[in-house]
Amino acid sequence: MTTEDVLYSMKGFYDGVKLARAGILGNYYGFKHKCESSTEIIDEYSYVVTNTKPWVPAVVNEFSRNAAGVSVWIVSKKQSDELGIEQASREIASTGPWEIVDHVSGVSWNLKAVEDHWRKTPYFEELVYWSIPEESARVAGFQTGILDTFTMAFDSLPTVEAVEGAVVTGWANGGQAELNFHGRYYDVDKEGQPYPACDCTNAWVSCDMDTESEEWAKVVKVKKAMNIAIDRQALVEELLSGFGRVQSVRDWMGHDHRQNPDWNYEYNPELAKQMLAEAGFPDGFEITLTPDIRSAPAGVESCHAVANYWKQIGISVKIQSLPYATIRPEMISRNYVGITCLTVS
């Protein structure tokens, strides 16, 4: 693996625009249109990135890491050129402890252990991942011994604990559920053009970029109203069987003690109605809400619950049920307008 492979791979993620941090990555390396950053190759194993503004290391580490939702991975430029992108995407050289034997999209992945792996050889020879959307089918597979392990909904807990030898494992801060507001595309695309999907007629998008303006203040009120309309504690108790805790601001889980106390949104539907009226929406407005269908515990159910909370303060909610793999490219390319429920690790 050489410097050329690294920059070839990074440029591929930027050009593909499907990586959630593609735009940030392009700004850092200087791939983006009219960007003042630049990258110079020093030798086979070294390169220097020059930026005209400071960068927080954590931001660069995020889009440089592996095994996460915004991961990059490094591919062989030589092999990609020889095989072509389509074939190389299936047969690329890799360094992990598992070799892909075969897979069927949306159904299963069959893998075998790499013997004498450079880091660690797996404990068992074969690994099969099944994509099973129905909770009842996953539970039945575990009960009959077809599945060795699976991700389950909390209401399946009594059934699973009744299986002889079953071990239920959980991790604190293992995942979070969040709401993402899409359509506030104030930046420009790779060619320096405004994003066409930026529409400030939506209640959560400001027509004035001045954060001290009246328009901006109205949007802040709208989003705060939508926040305090949600009874988060009820979601934890009723849909997660008490497993989990309330979170008001995404991505701060596990670092709650560092939060500003003002970031906590207490449930107050009456105040939410009042704030919507003050923002110019006494009769509410319409939104599209898309649950992420990713088998996360209570992921879809909690999204529907949020829709009901918003309806109670006068917002008309249209639920759009699409697989996450379908909606993600539209989100990453900045073409989706609406709100998504998203569960992440």
Rounded to the nearest 5 degrees, what angle is found at the Cα of 84, between the Cα atoms of 78 and 85? 95
Amino acid at 322: L
What share of the chain has pLDDT > 70, as a percent? 99
Domain spans of the chain?
3-81, 91-161, 176-344
pLDDT of residue 323: 79
* Cα R_g (the chain), whole angstroms: 23
pLDDT of 218 higher than 80: yes
pLDDT for 215 beyond 70:
yes
Please report, for the chain, how many H helices and E strands are present, in that order.
Answer: 12, 10
Residue 190 has pLDDT above 80, yes or no: no
**Best CATH choice for the domain 91-161 from the list 3.40.50.970, 3.40.190.10, 3.40.605.10, 3.30.930.10:** 3.40.190.10
The predicted-structure confidence for 139-149, as pLDDT tens digits, reads as follows 999 999 999 99
Per-residue model confidence as pLDDT tens digits over 282-308: 999 999 999 988 777 888 899 999 999
Query: What is residue 68's predicted lDDT score, i.e. its pLDDT?
Result: 66
Instruction: Show the DSSP H helices in the chain as ranges.
Output: 3-16, 22-29, 57-64, 77-83, 85-91, 135-143, 157-161, 214-228, 232-234, 269-278, 299-312, 324-332
Q: Report the C-alpha dihedral over residues 5, 11, 15, 21, rounded to 10 degrees.
A: 110
- Whether the per-residue pLDDT at 33 is higher than 80: the answer is no
Quote the CA–CA distance of 260 and 67 in Å, as a whole number: 30
pLDDT in tens, 194-206: 888 888 999 999 9
Q: Supply the pLDDT for residue 69.
A: 65
User: pTM of the prediction?
Assistant: 0.74
| CA nearest neighbour of 248 among 258, 262, 238 | 262
The predicted structure's pLDDT at residue 192? 81
**What average pLDDT does the chain have?**
90
Residues 124-170: pLDDT tens digits?
A: 999 999 999 888 999 999 999 999 999 888 889 899 999 999 999 88
Q: How many CB atoms lie within 10 A of CB 261?
A: 5
Report the topology of domain 176-344.
Dipeptide-binding Protein; domain 3 (3.10.105)
| pLDDT for the residue numbered 223 | 95
CA 114/CA 121 separation, integer angstroms: 6
pLDDT top residue among 296 and 264: 264
Which tokens belong to 268? 């107050």
Q: What is the pLDDT of residue 42?
A: 97
Helix H or strand E segment including 43: strand 38-43
> 340 pLDDT exceeds 70?
yes
Other Cβ atoms within 10 Å of 251 Cβ, number: 10
Give me 235's structure tokens.
């979601």
CA–CA gap between residue 260 and residue 72 (Å, rounded): 32
At 64 the pLDDT is 87
CA distance 341 to 176: 11
| Dihedral pair phi/psi, residue 185, rounded to 5° | -90, 70
User: Average pLDDT for residues 84-101, to the nearest whole number?
Assistant: 87
Structure tokens at 58: 């954590």
